[in-house]
Structure 1
Amino acid sequence: MKILVAVKRVVDYAVKIRVKPDKSGVETNNVKMSMNPFCEIALEEALRIKESGHASEVIAVSIGPPQCVETLRTGLAMGADRAIHITTDVGATLYPLSVAKLLKALVEIEKPRLLILGKQAIDDDCNQTGQMVAGLLKWPQGTFTSKVILDKEKQVATVEREVDGGLETLCLDLPAVITTDLRLNQPRYATLPNIMKAKSKVIKKVTPQELNVVIKSDLELLQVTEPPKRKAGVILSSVDELIDRLKNEAHVL
């Protein structure tokens, strides 16, 4: 069985985000970039499935500018067998529907039995791509999964997902789409020998034109602004003063 894992290059989670002076987006020049943490979890789960004998190959795919190759080499160093880079122009904005269409086209070529994605990316927090690609492929989907069990003989995947009322268990016929939650696993660190080996591995490049997908914007970005700064707290002298302020200033009573 072949597993395809989508990985995204994002601003590192430890970096303090800065908005551009013209408010057209987030500053990314000279900023540390890394693999989206949810994508790391997705790749780790695919590697564990392969190590358990339920998969024969793990393929990492990333969509974006040339710098995405660094993210794919991280995936190869973690243990992915192959990597595919769907190239786009520098500065091109990719929205979830365009990414879903590109992944659908690639799935039709590679024919994996399982497509695993992080449930969301920490840069836009859209939480849409997995659901959209499942809809386009007409595959069953298990989102926000915190546990995955594969039955190779029956060709089904049993997943647990967290919902408001507790845990929900789903049984998915393969092929299927799975999106991963933080509690699914703890991603491994790439070892130095594997990092060195990954530098020499060939990464296949594919263009949207070769996949017969037209990238177009479904949304118009008007402005990016920082959240308002939190006001300083006030020390009150009595409960009566607190109640008075809640009633007359905050209007919550």
Structure 2
Amino acid sequence: MEPRDLEHPTSSGETLPCGGLVTQSPGGASRGASQWGDGVQSLPPGATRSDQALAHEAGHRAPRTAHPGAGETARPAGRTRRRSAPAVCSSGAEINQKQDRRLYSLAKIFAETASIHAAATAIMQLEPWDFMAVYYDAIDHFCHGFMRYRPPRSPWIPEQDFELYHGVVEAAYRFHDLMLGALMTLAGEDTTIVIASDHGFHPDRLRPQHLPNEPAGPAEEHRPYGILAMKGPGIKRDELVFGATLLDVTPTLLTLFGLPVGRDMDGKVLVTAFD
């Protein structure tokens, strides 16, 4: 299918792709677009929103630290600029970043995820495609770093840490929901969408207090059950699919494309999801 034409007009009548990307305008000048607020703000030729933000912050923040306000809201790229951003850390200004690196870690994860999302939305708009796959690993990082602070508070979690970081995981999921909304808008109603994750996280009393000191130690925080959700033409509505595994995703996608499934594939086609 052809990518949808979802561009925003600037005050000069030029158009720029969603996601605050840099593109070539009809006049030949490269421009960036700031996507936050009620409209698209044109920046000087060759500048991006990141350039503007860095220039504004130059000389005010120590290296490898996050602006205290950076944890208060999170905004993904795409057609989401008018929707409310989730609160992440409402008391970021109280954090001593010389001793507590968690706010910096949050900012780093958000920045990396927004970059992945910006690249994905750019490809969907600017390149012809019939299959698009995007891998977001941020929820894994958010949960390994902050699931321990999610309510209810575990007895071994300091109350101050709980107050600072208890909303991070929920905000991370809201952030991904906003990005998913942008991807679905770009994909259109005639596209089949599959969301898959191979594992989850323990959100309750099963959260471990200590992790084994070995490379696979963090996996102790994993819940063995992931998710599978499908939507699109030929997919049943409000139907439960039982016994699906990660190995079933590729055979199912091949079948949706009308292609044969390899004999050496261990997975099965999830035919119960089809109309």
- Bin for the TM-score computed over the shorter chain: under 0.3
Instruction: State the TM-score, normalized to the length of structure 1.
Output: 0.24
Which structure shows the higher helix fraction?
Answer: 2
Instruction: State the TM-score, normalized to the length of structure 2.
Output: 0.23
Q: RCO greater where, 1 or 2, for CA within 8 Å and sep 6 or more?
A: 1
Which structure shows the higher strand fraction?
Answer: 1
